[in-house]
Amino acid sequence: MALGIGIDTGGTYTDAVIYDFDSGKVLCSAKALTTHEKLETGIINALSRLNKQYFPKVDIVALSTTLATNACIENKGGRAKLLFFGVEQKVFDMVGKDYGLTDKSDVYLCEKSGDFSGNNTQQPDWDKLFTQLDDWLNDAEGLGIVEVFAASNGAKLEKTAKKMVEERYGIPAVCGHELFYELNSIQRGAGTLLNAKLIPIIKQFLESIKSALEKMHINAPVVVIRSDSTKMSEQYAETKPVETILSGPASSVTGGVNITEEKNCLIIDMGGTTTDVSIVKNGIPLDAYSGVRIGSWKTFVHGVFIDTFGLGGDSTIRVEHGKVVQLPQRMIPLCVAATRWPLINKELEELIDSKKYHSYPLYEFLLLQKSVTGNNSHIIHSKYTKEESELINLLEKQPMPLEKAANASGKDIYTFNTERLESEGVIIRAGLTPTDIMHVKKDFNAFDETASITAVKYILSNIFEETGIEYTQEEFCDMVYDTVKLKLYENIVRILLTDKYPDDFKNGVNEQTMALIRNSYRDRLHKDLPVGFVTDMSLVGIGAPTHIFLPDVAKALGTGCVIPSDAKYANAIGAVVSNVRSVYQIEIRSEYDSSYMVYAPSGRYVTNDFNAAVEYAKKAASEAALKDAQSKGIADNYNIDTQVITNTATAKKGRQIDLGTTVIATVSGNMQYN
């Protein structure tokens, strides 16, 4: 009997399954709350609910997580920098933001680099450069290093800079050539900076996993799921966490395909923070060919096609000018927070009694999520302002309502700024979420519904005070539900339109079209000018809340809705059943002198013989892919496939133009088990 444990750590829940590889069946499964302040606790809680008699027989532990996904969506992460060689300031200013490079203070541009041929690499004055960078790197938790012409010169500057950074500063540094082989330097830079931001997040996750496994006496190698739904070793994940930006969603796709018989469908995974949608045609998930784009980040990370947007059971629900709005930021549901801190109920009752109504959400609370104390239990003042440190000290004792926290910090609610502490995950808000509304409507009852009901009462009074409109509790809850359903509907239609008409929507769906989509949902029962979007692709719902919201969305789209019996554990199942795959791609370009230039990992190779160029590229790509697969932990019985693609275009009068040749090597196989 070959057994594996699959663990999925999401924004809200941590799921675990024990899977029998021989029978292809789940032997047992469990779910526990994700404990962000100490991830290990939630992991242990999930594992402890499994059948422990199987633990000694476990061969492998496979992990998927949405921690990196959520960090991208919510624009969170560690403090990281990007050292960028060869990019001009005006070019960076013009296009950097299109790839997620929005904070210029995170990027240092060193314009010396070289040229496209790779022959004239210009070395900077390294001592002078790093003297200038000392203060800039003072608070960095990770560094990405990218040069424009790395593919031409064997990444000489990247390699030299990495060695010097690690010797001088002792911080983790990862180069662009270690992550991506594609040529677009700005996109490489974005992915490399994002990788550096995610290093502390994945490091904490892996440390928590290993500690939990040790305490549960589970002795098996740990692997992590990549964005293309394949496995990698924990050592690989530690240095290349950007590969996990769609780890959880990719696992949900693999798990969804595994547990449903639907061949043409949308797999919709609604979690705590995000909803992930993937397209399955003829039983095979679509790939994201041009690299994963998530949040504001556009990367070269290879992944299954997944569209991720901010909507989940823990999404922020607020009221603006009497109307319900849903925001992508995750909050702790009030019902969950009150279960742990009963004082929240008392504070909410006092808020109602005060009859203090406000445009700010006074019913929200601030909670300490991550300890930032040093060895002597002092706040690391070099990283935080005096006001931030004082707020952290206050919240170490207990959660505080928003206005009380502002007053205690010597601020009023208008000047009280918690943005940086929230973006770095040090503090988090508790507030009204769809999970709270589920408790009010009795669709879910795992936590303290009193806090949810009290908050809704306060909000209804606030709406009446502002607009004069008096809603019942049921009407308000239905408004929230309909807001969630509309968000699902509009994004599903957007995804289907983009897939059906890729050329028309290559730059995304514009706001006018989105407005039409929203109105088609709101006016679906009107007959005067019906605008309906329908599909014959069924909606497969996985994730705990989908059974509440998805059936009505499917009905509006004229299709069916399937909720598999193992839907709640699809991510954990997907993690354990996946395999290993590495892909390496090399470009061959024809030169004006009839020679061919091969952009190999070791640098450029030039020959006058096209067939020799192809053979060289095949060998170099296969070696690079195999080296990468072995670092991920692939077993010895692997397969290597190579593919040669000639790219051409047709000019006027039918003349064919050579756009270069792409050689792709793929290594695939099983993970090396015990």
End position of a domain, from candidates 197, 219, 250: 197
373 pLDDT band, cuts 50/70/90, is low
Task: Please tell me the least confidently modeled range out of 242-251, 315-324, 552-561, 650-659.
Answer: 650-659
Cα–Cα distance for residue pair 592/139, rounded to 1 Å = 48
Cα–Cα distance for residue pair 141/233, rounded to 1 Å = 22
Strand partners, 232: 224
Cα–Cα distance for residue pair 147/180, rounded to 1 Å = 12
Give me the mean pLDDT over the 344-366 stretch.
95
Cα–Cα distance for residue pair 660/644, rounded to 1 Å = 11
Of 205, 199, 278, the closest CA to residue 242 belongs to: 199
For the cut 50, the answer to whether the pLDDT of residue 399 exceeds it is: yes
Give me the mean pLDDT over the 524-541 stretch.
85
Are the C-beta atoms of residues 491 and 553 closer than 8 Å to each other?
Answer: no
The vertex-495 CA angle with 492 and 498, nearest 5°, equals 150
Q: Are residues 471 and 590 in the same domain?
A: no
Output 315 or 181, whichever has higher pLDDT: 315
| The pLDDT of residue 335 | 98
Tens digits of residue pLDDT in 238-270: 999 999 998 988 898 889 888 887 889 999 999
Are the C-beta atoms of residues 497 and 508 closer than 8 Å to each other?
Answer: no
Residue 440 lies in a domain: yes
- Give one word for 274, left, alpha or beta, with left for phi > 0 and alpha for psi -120 to 50: beta
| The pLDDT of residue 613 | 94
Are the C-beta atoms of residues 624 and 154 closer than 8 Å to each other?
Answer: no
Cα–Cα distance for residue pair 447/340, rounded to 1 Å = 9
For the cut 70, the answer to whether the pLDDT of residue 374 exceeds it is: no
Give me the mean pLDDT over the 341-353 stretch.
96
Residue 610 lies in a domain: yes
Residue 271 lies in a domain: no
For the cut 50, the answer to whether the pLDDT of residue 376 exceeds it is: no
End position of a domain, from candidates 197, 225, 259: 197
Q: For the chain, what is the mean pLDDT?
A: 90
Are the C-beta atoms of residues 530 and 523 closer than 8 Å to each other?
Answer: yes
Are the C-beta atoms of residues 225 and 253 closer than 8 Å to each other?
Answer: no
Kindly report the CATH number assigned to the domain that includes residue 98.
Answer: 3.40.50
Q: Could you tell me the two tokens for 52?
A: 């422990």
State how many domains the chain has.
Answer: 3
Residue 394 lies in a domain: yes
CA 123 to mean position of chain CA atoms: 36
Residue 618 lies in a domain: yes
Cα–Cα distance for residue pair 192/158, rounded to 1 Å = 12
Of 202, 255, 206, 247, the closest CA to residue 228 belongs to: 247
Residue 26 lies in a domain: no
**Global pTM?**
0.73
Look up the domain containing 644 and give its range.
Answer: 580-669
Q: Are residues 442 and 320 in the same domain?
A: yes
Residue 534 lies in a domain: no
Cα–Cα distance for residue pair 192/142, rounded to 1 Å = 10
The DSSP letter of residue 35 is: -
116 pLDDT band, cuts 50/70/90, is low
Q: Which residues contact 508 (CB under 8 A, 6 or more apart)?
A: 498
The burial of 68, by beta-carbon neighbours within 10 Å (0-12 exposed, 13-18 middle, 19 or more buried), is given as: buried
Helix (H, G, I), strand (E, B) or coil at 106: helix
Helix (H, G, I), strand (E, B) or coil at 669: strand
End position of a domain, from candidates 460, 476, 492: 476
Residue 468 lies in a domain: yes
